[in-house]
């Protein structure tokens, strides 16, 4: 009967354990890298989808050009100086609500089919992420869209002030995958209308935004 030395047996077990640990480490590293690259590709695709969805919603909601007078009422005194600038809450809330709703609907429809991911992304190597045939990756996107109006005042000349009104659309997106969840926000700002106000504008308006978002008067050129 052949005798096996205990040292050889222990050595084999140690080598086997080291090989198992090394193999497991490689699998985990590959999994982490692949997940990271897939998340990056999925986020880039969702950002592109979000941009298209929001732009389509804005185009649909504002298909009829909005005039400055429909959103803002400017009151003047007998000398032509501006005494107050007030917003049309009903019209503003309607546009913001419709744009947010349409953006949300577009996002849900456009993300139902998943995103196209190049085969190279599954290698976990960023340099190869854009190569190879594209595979459809099913993801679970959760989105929330909020819209608000903002405005800015800018000196436009002697006794003239440019008042610009913007629509800000912020889409908060969560991409849920089996191994990880990523959150990001996509912000779009659209110029709705503008007007040059002639006459002295009260300082209280120049140092703020009539919608309460804190814009400041830009310095004169």
Convert the pLDDT of each residue in 186-221 to its tens digit: 888 888 888 888 888 777 777 766 776 533 333 323
Residue the block writes with tokens 């290698």? 123
Residue 214: its pLDDT value, please? 39
Torsion 11-14-15-16 (CA) sign? positive
Give the CA angle between residues 172, 44, 168 to the nearest 5°: 40
Q: Structural domain boundaries of the chain?
A: 6-206
Over residues 102-119, the pLDDT tens digits come to: 988 888 888 777 777 776
Residue 75: its pLDDT value, please? 86
What mean pLDDT value characterizes the chain? 77
């Amino acid at each position: 009967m052949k005798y096996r030395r205990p040292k050889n047996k222990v050595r084999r077990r140690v080598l086997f354990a080291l090989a198992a640990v090394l193999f497991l480490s490689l699998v985990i590293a590959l999994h982490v890298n692949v997940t990271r690259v897939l998340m990056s590709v999925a986020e880039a695709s969702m950002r592109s989808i979000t941009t298209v969805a929001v732009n389509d919603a804005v185009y649909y909601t504002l298909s009829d050009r909005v005039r400055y007078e429909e959103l803002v009422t400017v009151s003047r005194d007998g000398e032509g100086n501006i005494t107050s600038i007030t917003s049309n809450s009903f019209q503003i809330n309607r546009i913001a609500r419709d744009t947010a709703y349409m953006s949300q609907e577009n996002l849900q429809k456009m993300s139902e089919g998943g995103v196209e991911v190049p085969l190279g992304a599954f290698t976990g190597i960023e340099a190869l992420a854009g190569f190879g045939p594209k595979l459809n990756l099913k993801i679970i996107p959760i989105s929330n869209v909020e819209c608000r109006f903002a405005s800015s005042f800018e000196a436009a000349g002697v006794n003239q002030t440019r008042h610009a009104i913007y629509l800000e659309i912020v889409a908060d997106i969560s991409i849920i995958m089996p191994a990880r969840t990523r959150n990001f926000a996509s912000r779009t700002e659209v110029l709705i209308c503008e007007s040059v106000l002639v006459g002295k504008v009260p300082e209280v308006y120049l140092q703020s935004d009539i919608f309460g978002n804190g814009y400041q008067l830009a310095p004169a050129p």
